[in-house]
A and B are shown apart, each in its own frame.
Chain A
Amino acid sequence: MARKTKATEMAEAKHAGGLSRAWKFGDDVDTDAIIPGRFLTINDPKELAKHAFEGVRPDFRPSTGDVVVAGENFGCGSSREHAPLALKGAGIKCVIAKSFARIFFRNSINIGLAMLECREADRIADGDVLEIEGNTIKNLTKGETYEAAPLPGFLAEIVESGGLIEYARAMVAKKHKGKKK
């Protein structure tokens, strides 16, 4: 069983208030670390979540609303959408990283897993309690506030339409409407 830090207890107590516990990782966290290859026959996010970070961080047991915080190039490696799905299934509210790998970034946008690219992600420690509103991250443990980079307009549009599935549905409907005319 994972040891509970004071911050964990605090985070658990305050989840109702929209606060998040930070689960901190380093640079170049790869998709095999997020969800190992042998679990990729599973397609259900909740089932995938049981194996998130299994090999590299067995104590990873987030509460709903927690956040993953990392350094550069988070999600490098495979195109497996199972990686962001596992985090979503685990109840992760968003991933805060200094930078994201390309395919992971796309996949997260597409499935609606929030991401905040923040150059100050390093200032957040494991177990810190955060309050996140839009692109603003308040670190209640340290009494600091960080700003994340906003998404480019085009991507914000996809996110606002509810992810790529919804966006594509609208496009298909539009195409058919055009044909009927």
Chain B
Amino acid sequence: MSNGLTITEKIFSRASGRPVRAGDFVMASIDRAMAHDITGPLAVEGFYEIMRDEKEKKVWDPEKIIILFDHQVPADSLNAARNHILLRKFAREQGIKHFYDLHEGICHQVMPEKGHVLPGQLIVGSDSHTCAYGALGAFGTGIGSTDMAAVFALGKLWFRVPESMRFEVNGKLGDRVYSKDIILKLIGDVGADGARYKACEYAGEAIRRLDVSQRMTISNMAIEMGGKAGIIEPDGKTEKYVRERSPGYRLDEGLKSDEDAEYAEVREYDVTGMPPQVACPHNVDNVVDIDKIEGKRIDQVFLGSCTNGRFEDLRIAAEVMDGRPVAKGVRMIVIPASHTEYMKALRAGLIEEFVSAGALVESPCCGPCMGGSFGLLGPGEVGLSTSNRNFRGRQGSPDALVYLCSPATAAASAVKGKIADPRSV
């Protein structure tokens, strides 16, 4: 066994206060805990259950808990409204410092944007796409509501330190090919359970070249191959992004995997010349090159979600659309991932471009991604989405079809009225 450690082993060693390796079971201290309107209510119930014999029913640290609403925004049912009331009351009672009501946006965008994610931290969220924080070199992982209840009470949680699977991605992406295409390609190769229980580590020159926004897309989808995290070693770009939000932050040069770290598997890719990728129904690993699916009719295009709803994504889509209207017979829903991203898009004129093109622009939220509220697909309909899942019934009817793609492919398809190669428009 070598002495080298992965970035994951280093983070867990710090969080559990002793040197640990992959395979060890640990009780680790949590740096930040995030809950939203879907998984939060059960966590609150669980928390009070844990504390039922305690005189003071106080959370471990009200400054380290982030609660926000993003899935059912604004409340789309009485049940959703009740859940919102329950969480508002909890946040007030507990003095939760970072409580964001309806307007702020999607958890995985708001967390890094508000400076709640720092490289090297151990962050849990009661949402599976918490792995997105790996884009900043944090170990972010999704947990359930009972797990979150325990974190609220103790500030600690049990983990099995995961083995890592390293993806060395080299080469240069072609025009109108993006990090979403890279991650779809990787998931297609590895399969829906190929990284189960493992930390995905993305490295190589193609990853280094990506900006923080595009790195978030790639980390976000680690869970789609079963990964526990999707981590990218922090660098100068990370430092710049984090410093703008946490002014005192300085990059820790040691926060990276050692050269002789041990991996469960190392996979190498060259993305030079790789065409845009599309995930076909009903699994995220059902991935094809764009030419295999071009011309497929669509009813709805959704541009948004924690995967691809940032300003940069909207700008890419607007550039591809280039003033052309959404094709007749197709509806397009655009949802910026957060208030901040919405305002950036507004100031840059993108919102006007989308509305003029005939798209519906909604307030920041998860939107149709989870199929919880609006924008659902009916039986037999076909949706093309920049989100992260195309499970049967995910965005409405179990008889609907959902395809996943990059913002560029979504935009090209919206103006063409069928699945289209963004390089062809």
Contacts and interface: CB of A to CB of B under 8 A. Distances in A.
Nearest to B46: A165
Contacts of B71: 40
Contacts, number: 149
Contacts of B223: 77
Interface stretch (A4-12, A26-34, A61-69, A131-139): A26-34
Contact of B144 (A81, A158, A175): A81
Nearest to A154: B25
Interface stretch (A16-24, A101-109, A119-127, A140-148): A101-109
A28 B42 CA distance: 25
Interface in B208-242: 223, 226, 228
Contacts of A32: 371, 389, 391-394
A1 to B, nearest CB: 20
Contacts of B394: 32, 37
A40 B128 CA distance: 15
B38 A43 contact: no
Contact of A107 (B146, B150, B160, B371): B146
B42 A81 contact: yes
A28 B160 CA distance: 22
Given A106-B147, A168-B153, A37 B371 contact: yes
Contacts of A154: 25, 158, 160
Contacts of B179: none
A158 B38 contact: no
Interface in B31-63: 38-39, 41-42, 45-46, 49-54
Contacts of A172: 50-51, 54, 153-154
Contacts of A167: 150
A168 B150 contact: yes
The range of chain A's interface size is 35 or more
B127 interface: yes
A55 B393 contact: yes
Contacts of A168: 50, 149-150, 153-154
A161 interface: no
Contacts of B144: 79-81, 103, 106-107, 110-111
A174 B96 CA distance: 25
B420 interface: no
Contacts of A165: 46, 49-50, 146, 149-150
B110 interface: no
A102 B53 contact: no
7 contacts: A30-B392, A55-B397, A56-B393, A76-B226, A79-B128, A169-B51, A173-B54
A-B pairs, top 9 by smallest CB distance, nearest first, are A41-B79, A55-B398, A73-B193, A107-B144, A55-B393, A110-B146, A37-B370, A37-B371, A168-B150
Given A33-B393, A72-B193, A173-B54, 7 more contacts: A41-B79, A55-B392, A56-B393, A81-B42, A164-B147, A172-B54, A173-B53
